[in-house]
Amino acid sequence: MQRRNTSQRKIIYDILKSTDVHPTADWIYEKVRKYIPNISLGTVYRNLKVLKEEGYILEISDGKQSRFDARTDDHLHFKCDLCNNVYDIEPSDINLQLDTSSLEKKGFKVCRYDIEFYGICRKCNKEREVEKDN
Protein backbone atom coordinates (compact mmCIF):
# COMPACT_ATOMS: atom_id res chain seq x y z
CA MET A 1 0.00 0.00 0.00
CA GLN A 2 1.09 3.51 -0.88
CA ARG A 3 1.50 5.52 2.31
CA ARG A 4 1.09 9.26 2.72
CA ASN A 5 2.85 11.53 5.13
CA THR A 6 0.20 13.11 7.27
CA SER A 7 0.84 15.59 10.04
CA GLN A 8 -1.03 13.28 12.41
CA ARG A 9 1.34 10.40 11.80
CA LYS A 10 4.40 12.60 12.02
CA ILE A 11 3.41 14.13 15.35
CA ILE A 12 2.48 10.76 16.83
CA TYR A 13 5.87 9.39 15.87
CA ASP A 14 7.70 12.49 17.13
CA ILE A 15 5.97 12.30 20.49
CA LEU A 16 6.73 8.62 20.86
CA LYS A 17 10.37 9.21 19.94
CA SER A 18 10.69 11.96 22.52
CA THR A 19 9.77 9.83 25.52
CA ASP A 20 11.00 6.68 27.19
CA VAL A 21 7.92 5.96 29.29
CA HIS A 22 6.58 3.33 26.85
CA PRO A 23 3.19 5.00 26.75
CA THR A 24 -0.27 3.63 26.07
CA ALA A 25 -2.32 4.77 23.09
CA ASP A 26 -4.34 6.97 25.38
CA TRP A 27 -1.29 8.74 26.79
CA ILE A 28 -0.15 9.49 23.26
CA TYR A 29 -3.63 10.68 22.33
CA GLU A 30 -3.63 13.24 25.14
CA LYS A 31 -0.20 14.55 24.10
CA VAL A 32 -1.10 14.80 20.42
CA ARG A 33 -4.26 16.73 21.26
CA LYS A 34 -2.09 19.63 22.36
CA TYR A 35 -0.96 19.97 18.75
CA ILE A 36 -4.06 18.69 16.95
CA PRO A 37 -6.97 19.30 19.32
CA ASN A 38 -9.58 17.50 17.25
CA ILE A 39 -7.58 14.39 16.42
CA SER A 40 -9.47 11.22 17.19
CA LEU A 41 -8.34 8.28 19.25
CA GLY A 42 -9.07 6.03 16.27
CA THR A 43 -6.50 7.93 14.22
CA VAL A 44 -3.93 7.42 16.94
CA TYR A 45 -4.57 3.67 16.94
CA ARG A 46 -4.50 3.49 13.15
CA ASN A 47 -1.21 5.34 12.94
CA LEU A 48 0.39 3.32 15.69
CA LYS A 49 -0.54 0.23 13.70
CA VAL A 50 0.97 1.70 10.53
CA LEU A 51 4.17 2.76 12.30
CA LYS A 52 4.45 -0.73 13.71
CA GLU A 53 3.90 -2.37 10.32
CA GLU A 54 6.57 -0.15 8.81
CA GLY A 55 8.96 -1.13 11.57
CA TYR A 56 9.34 2.29 13.11
CA ILE A 57 7.98 1.34 16.51
CA LEU A 58 7.33 -1.72 18.65
CA GLU A 59 4.18 -2.72 20.45
CA ILE A 60 4.71 -4.21 23.89
CA SER A 61 1.75 -5.78 25.61
CA ASP A 62 1.12 -4.98 29.24
CA GLY A 63 -1.71 -7.11 30.47
CA LYS A 64 -4.71 -6.16 28.42
CA GLN A 65 -3.24 -2.86 27.35
CA SER A 66 -0.67 -2.13 24.70
CA ARG A 67 2.31 0.12 25.18
CA PHE A 68 4.49 1.49 22.43
CA ASP A 69 8.21 2.00 22.04
CA ALA A 70 10.06 4.03 19.42
CA ARG A 71 13.30 2.25 20.29
CA THR A 72 13.59 -0.62 17.86
CA ASP A 73 17.18 -1.60 18.49
CA ASP A 74 18.06 -4.52 20.72
CA HIS A 75 17.07 -3.85 24.30
CA LEU A 76 15.01 -5.23 27.16
CA HIS A 77 12.38 -4.02 29.60
CA PHE A 78 12.07 -3.82 33.34
CA LYS A 79 8.66 -3.23 34.86
CA CYS A 80 8.39 -1.84 38.36
CA ASP A 81 5.93 -3.69 40.59
CA LEU A 82 5.23 -0.53 42.56
CA CYS A 83 4.94 2.36 40.09
CA ASN A 84 4.26 0.19 37.02
CA ASN A 85 6.70 2.20 34.93
CA VAL A 86 8.61 0.38 32.23
CA TYR A 87 12.35 1.01 31.94
CA ASP A 88 14.75 0.26 29.12
CA ILE A 89 17.53 -2.17 29.91
CA GLU A 90 20.65 -2.27 27.82
CA PRO A 91 21.71 -5.73 26.63
CA SER A 92 25.13 -4.94 28.11
CA ASP A 93 23.52 -4.67 31.53
CA ILE A 94 22.66 -8.32 31.72
CA ASN A 95 24.75 -11.36 31.15
CA LEU A 96 22.61 -14.00 29.52
CA GLN A 97 23.51 -17.41 28.23
CA LEU A 98 20.74 -19.53 26.87
CA ASP A 99 20.95 -22.93 25.25
CA THR A 100 17.76 -24.23 23.70
CA SER A 101 19.27 -27.13 21.79
CA SER A 102 17.43 -29.57 24.03
CA LEU A 103 14.16 -27.96 22.96
CA GLU A 104 15.14 -28.14 19.31
CA LYS A 105 15.87 -31.84 19.71
CA LYS A 106 12.30 -32.30 20.92
CA GLY A 107 10.96 -30.76 17.72
CA PHE A 108 10.38 -27.16 18.77
CA LYS A 109 11.91 -24.61 16.45
CA VAL A 110 12.75 -21.65 18.70
CA CYS A 111 12.71 -18.47 16.60
CA ARG A 112 12.91 -15.93 19.40
CA TYR A 113 12.31 -15.39 23.06
CA ASP A 114 11.25 -12.47 25.20
CA ILE A 115 12.65 -11.74 28.62
CA GLU A 116 10.99 -9.24 30.86
CA PHE A 117 12.24 -8.23 34.26
CA TYR A 118 10.10 -7.35 37.25
CA GLY A 119 10.97 -5.84 40.57
CA ILE A 120 11.44 -2.44 42.14
CA CYS A 121 12.94 0.43 40.20
CA ARG A 122 15.59 2.83 41.37
CA LYS A 123 13.14 5.61 42.14
CA CYS A 124 10.82 3.43 44.23
CA ASN A 125 13.81 1.88 45.98
CA LYS A 126 15.00 5.32 47.01
CA GLU A 127 11.58 6.32 48.27
CA ARG A 128 11.56 3.22 50.43
CA GLU A 129 14.92 4.13 51.88
CA VAL A 130 13.55 7.52 52.86
CA GLU A 131 10.55 5.88 54.56
CA LYS A 132 12.85 3.60 56.52
CA ASP A 133 14.78 6.62 57.77
CA ASN A 134 11.67 8.17 59.26
- Does 78 participate in binding a copy of itself (rule CB under 8 A)? yes
Q: Is 12 helix (H, G, I), strand (E, B) or coil?
A: helix
Q: Name the binder of 107 from DNA, a copy of itself, none, CB < 5-8 A by kind.
A: a copy of itself
- Does 126 participate in binding a copy of itself (rule CB under 8 A)? yes
Given 21, 36, 83, 94, the residue binding a copy of itself (CB under 8 A): 94
Residue 29 beta carbon to a copy of itself: minimum distance, rounded to whole angstroms: 18
Q: Name the binder of 122 from a copy of itself, DNA, none, CB < 5-8 A by kind.
A: a copy of itself
Q: What is the DSSP letter of 91?
A: G
Beta bridge partners of 87: 78
Which residues touch 57 (CB under 8 Å, ≥6 apart)?
Answer: 13, 16, 48, 51, 68, 69, 70, 72
